[in-house]
Amino acid sequence: MNKKISLFALGAALIAVPVIAAPGGAKADGDGTLTRTEAQAHATQMFAKMDFNKDGKIDAADRTSKRAEMQAKKFASLDADGNGSISQAEWTNQGAKRAERAEKRAAAGEMSEGKRHAMRGPGKRGGYRGMHGGMMGKADTNGDKAVSQAEFQTAALARFDAADANKDGRVTAEERKAQRGEWRAKRAAPAAPAS
């Protein structure tokens, strides 16, 4: 179980790595291309954001810290009067607000939360394949179930280098589009049978 939590935490953290060189990635200068230097700076910023407990690595402890932070914020949003408990009226009010937001999303034609979650599964972004191997396995080079800043940088720059098809030190929108097509093809390919 602990191993699964660690893999989940690392995989979730590393899902952000494609942002560096993938579609819509960091464009520090806004010219539509991403340089290797910009990718490296973005990776440094992303690592700092994901290392919630600031221990120099991304692991299950970071996931636990982030979850506790999110739960505290959610509780505070429910506890409207700030008395440390959630009354029936506060709970009912939150449910009414949630229903109102869902109606607005439906009217705007946005996908429902249930459908969004249903899209996640094996091979989907945020799904199981990316969390149990894949990016995590590639970034965690020493196998300690944690990703150091150096490992994170190395993985981010490897993704940048893979996207930089003409090796000019810049990733253009066309190169990102081509890489996105390759990733989709890999995800759609059936998994190789275990031997």
Residue 12 lies in a domain: yes
Q: In the predicted model, what is the mean pLDDT of the chain?
A: 76
Say if 193 falls within a structural domain: no
- Domain count for the chain: 1
Q: Is residue 179 part of a domain?
A: yes
Domain membership of residue 195 (yes or no) is no
pLDDT > 80? residue 8: no
Domain assignment of residue 64, yes or no: yes
Q: Which domain holds residue 31?
A: 2-188
As a whole number, mean pLDDT of residues 108-120 equals 57
pTM: 0.58
Q: Give which of 156, 162, 122, 144 is closest to 37, Cα–Cα.
A: 156
Whether 194 is in a domain gets the answer no
DSSP assignment string, the chain: -HHHHHHHHHHHHHTTHHHHHSTT---TTSSS-EEHHHHHHHHHHHHHHH-TT-SSEESHHHHHHHHHHHHHHHHHHH-TT-SSS--HHHHHHHHHHHHHHHHHHHHHTPPPHHHHHHT-STTSTTSHHHHSSHHHHHH-TT-SSSEEHHHHHHHHHHHHHHH-TT-SSEE-HHHHHHHHHHHHHHHHSPPPPP-
CA distance 74 to 108: 25
Is 183 within the bounds of a domain? Answer: yes
Span 119-139, mean pLDDT?
49
Mean pLDDT, residues 163-176 = 90
Mean pLDDT of the region 135-159:
85
User: What was the pLDDT predicted at 45?
Assistant: 93
